[in-house]
């Protein structure tokens, strides 16, 4: 059985404005639990976006709206940086004749699936390459300051499915 806060969140995200309160007494919603729930599913920005889109912010305490508005703004700014970096990475890979496809959140944002790029949380830039290009990608990324933050000795014993995570030290400090 789902909690009242789960039902409310689903209604906000997926139902029309007129159906948001279907079967819900707004006075029984624990807004702290709603924040924890939405946060655990990385849905706070989407929650804020849909509250605004459906003009129902009057149902929420002011501090709740202020908090998730701030999360949305931070997320949107971060996504703008990540999308810019994804485009730079794509150009870099293209220049080096490396076929690649972006995956997950980056692919969705680059494909304009969302009305606003702040709606979706992404934490990294995932892309897939051909197996034959692994060494080439490693060299290109290293040459362009994308370094692995972990020099994990586990990689010596087990062949990972992915190349090690890379972070551009120069861009990380921006």
Q: What is the pLDDT of residues 99-131, one digit of tens each?
A: 999 999 999 999 999 999 999 998 889 999 999
Indicate if 65 and 17 belong to the same structural domain: yes
- Decide if 45 contacts 13 (C-beta within 8 A): no
- Total domain count for the chain? 2
Indicate if 157 and 114 belong to the same structural domain: yes
Q: Which domain holds residue 61?
A: 4-71
Mean pLDDT of the chain: 88
Confidence of residue 145 (pLDDT cuts 50, 70, 90): confident
Give the Cβ contact number of residue 52 at 10 Å: 15
Reduced to 3 states (helix: H, G, I; strand: E, B; else coil), residue 81 is: helix
Indicate if 34 and 61 belong to the same structural domain: yes
Indicate if 84 and 55 belong to the same structural domain: no
Confidence of residue 1 (pLDDT cuts 50, 70, 90): confident
Residue that is last in its domain, among 71, 97, 116? 71
Least confident of 35-39, 129-133, 138-142, 158-162: 158-162
pTM score of the predicted model: 0.82
Indicate if 85 and 65 belong to the same structural domain: no
In whole angstroms, give the CA distance from residue 110 to residue 86.
9
Indicate if 168 and 109 belong to the same structural domain: yes
């Amino acid at each position: 059985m789902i909690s009242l806060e789960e039902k409310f969140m689903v209604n906000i995200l997926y139902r029309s404005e007129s159906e948001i309160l279907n079967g819900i007494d707004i006075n029984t919603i624990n807004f702290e639990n709603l924040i924890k729930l939405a946060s655990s599913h990385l849905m706070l920005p989407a929650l804020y976006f849909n509250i605004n889109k459906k003009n129902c912010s009057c149902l929420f305490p002011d501090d709740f709206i202020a908090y998730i508005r701030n999360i949305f703004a931070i997320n949107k700014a971060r996504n703008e940086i990540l999308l810019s970096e994804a485009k730079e990475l794509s150009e870099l890979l293209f220049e080096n004749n490396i076929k690649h496809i972006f995956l997950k959140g980056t692919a969705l944002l680059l494909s304009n699936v969302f009305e606003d790029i702040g709606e979706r949380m992404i934490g990294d830039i995932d892309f897939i390459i051909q197996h034959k290009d692994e060494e080439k990608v490693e060299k290109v990324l290293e040459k362009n300051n994308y370094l692995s933050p972990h020099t994990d000795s586990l990689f010596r014993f087990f062949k990972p499915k992915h190349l090690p995570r890379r972070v551009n030290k120069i861009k990380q400090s921006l």
